[in-house]
Amino acid sequence: SPDLLRSLLSTFIDALMGAEADSLCGAGFGERSEDRTNSRNGYRHRVFDTRAGTLDVAIPKLRSGSYFPDWLLQRRKRAERALTSVVATCYLLGVSTRRMEKLVDSLGITSLSKSQVSVMARDLDTQVEAFRSRPLDAGPYTFVAADALVLKVRENGRVVNVHALVAVGVNAEGYREILGIEVTSAEDGAGWLAFFRSLVARGLSGVRLVTSDAHAGLVSAIGASLPGAAWQRCRTHCDCKEL
């Protein structure tokens, strides 16, 4: 979803710049501290073009001296790849301090303390989780497509396959919307049933047609959780690039 990706990219960029500006000031935004050596003085705007669209980047200004995120605006392609990668990973698996540390290191940011990274990870995790558990209130979702993507992840020092269960719906305004993504160790009927029940609990309604492959557990889960909805075997599968 380009809108989702743009929103999360903006959130990550703002959080990183804010944390870096706080580090240069010696204290957090609006915080009273004897360690403060500088303070914020508004913002200046720059355009940052990404594959998800154009972002309006609000760069913090300082009362004394200047701040410029060269890790973002001078190394645009590298920064976009790193940010997009961590956004996608955090959406699937949640935000962790270790994941944020890797992102900060990959961008060449050296001024952030571990406590700043920890606070930033916690705040971002809250925002990601809010989207993942948001009410599905843009229905009725007349058409829904479901599929599973096989992904390779590192777990306990070895690379294993996991399955990302994905559901995409067409909302009342006619736009595609990612309804949910759930990572499971195997694609089976129990996993699909739990996934669809979670979508229904969040407000999925009005479904008249579901398209998917002919996986027996998936078809059974559709019938059990979306009574009255017709099922049709799909002719194409989800592509990671489209998501």
Does 241 fall in a domain? Answer: no
Question: Do residues 109 and 151 share a domain?
Answer: no
| Residues spanned by the domain of 47 | 2-132
Question: Do residues 121 and 194 share a domain?
Answer: no
Q: Classify the phi-psi angles of 70: left when phi > 0, otherwise alpha if psi is within -120 to 50, otherwise beta.
A: alpha
Question: Do residues 116 and 226 share a domain?
Answer: no
Does 242 fall in a domain? Answer: no
* pLDDT (0 to 100) of residue 238: 52
Q: What is the pTM of this model?
A: 0.65
Question: Do residues 8 and 125 share a domain?
Answer: yes
| Number of domains comprising the chain | 2
Question: Do residues 126 and 150 share a domain?
Answer: no
Question: Do residues 11 and 119 share a domain?
Answer: yes
CATH number, position 227? 3.30.420.10
* pLDDT (0 to 100) of residue 93: 64
Residue finishing a domain among 132, 152, 184: 132
Question: Do residues 53 and 169 share a domain?
Answer: no
Residue finishing a domain among 77, 104, 132: 132
Least Cα distance to 236 among 162, 178, 168 occurs for 168
How many residues make up the chain in this entry? Answer: 243
pLDDT tens over the chain, length 243 residues: 556 778 878 888 888 888 889 888 988 888 888 888 999 999 999 888 877 778 889 999 999 998 988 878 777 777 777 777 777 677 666 677 777 777 777 777 776 777 777 777 777 777 778 888 889 998 899 999 999 988 887 777 788 888 889 999 999 999 888 899 888 888 888 999 999 999 999 999 999 999 999 889 999 999 999 999 999 998 765 554 444
Question: Do residues 26 and 69 share a domain?
Answer: yes
Question: Do residues 94 and 192 share a domain?
Answer: no
Residue finishing a domain among 113, 132, 151: 132
Question: Do residues 183 and 156 share a domain?
Answer: yes
Looking only at the bridges linking them, the beta strands covering 209-212 and 143-155 are parallel
Does 123 fall in a domain? Answer: yes
Place of tokens 């009255």: 228
* pLDDT (0 to 100) of residue 91: 65
Does 102 fall in a domain? Answer: yes
* pLDDT (0 to 100) of residue 205: 94
